[in-house]
Amino acid sequence: MNQKVPIRFVLNGRPLKYDVEPHWTLLDFLRNELRITSPKQGCDLGECGACTVLLDGEPVLSCLVLVPQVDGKEVTTVEGISKNGEMNTIQKSFFEHNAFQCGYCTPGFILATKAMLDKNPDPTIPEINRALSGHLCRCTGYVQIIDAVMDAARQLRIDRQKTVNVQKTVT
């Protein structure tokens, strides 16, 4: 019998405290205990990207992370990137470019895109390919996904510039 381990972490902006089994994966904990369903169970080998979440802003494969490893950290799922139930810019771009069919892989692609664009707001296609290289999609061609990422990057740059212009006007 395993003894549970206490952990504290932030999930989608909300501080949480749980006693967890030390052998649980983050994927199992999110889906089975917390009912967060955007990370999908795919290969359980860290090869498909369907279970991707952000851990302190970095994309990780939640099927390979033991839940005690998130103690003191911040976990973000797709549920945590929208505000007031509205899709964020990346989600809208994926929708507008039809960058999904079944949608199983989409949350992982969106989170990997967010992590990349947070660091590099103007990526090249090779940089996008590299950032998304750990994600597999069996339904679409990758063309729509690349188009969605490029468009989201463009829109986020426009939004940032508008914010800068408003701040300059106010000050």
Q: pLDDT tens digits, residue range 91-135?
A: 999 999 999 888 889 999 999 999 999 999 999 999 999 999 989
99: nearest Cα among 46, 158, 141, 153: 141
Q: pLDDT tens digits, residue range 132-169?
A: 998 988 887 789 999 999 999 999 999 888 877 766 66
Sketch out the chain's domains with CATH numbers: 5-80 (3.10.20.30), 89-170 (1.10.150.120)
**What does DSSP say about strands 74-76 and 5-11: parallel, antiparallel, or unpaired?**
parallel
Give the per-residue pLDDT at 49.
Answer: 94
Does residue 171 register a pLDDT over 70?
no
Q: pLDDT tens digits, residue range 76-88?
A: 999 999 888 899 9
End-to-end CA distance of the chain: 61
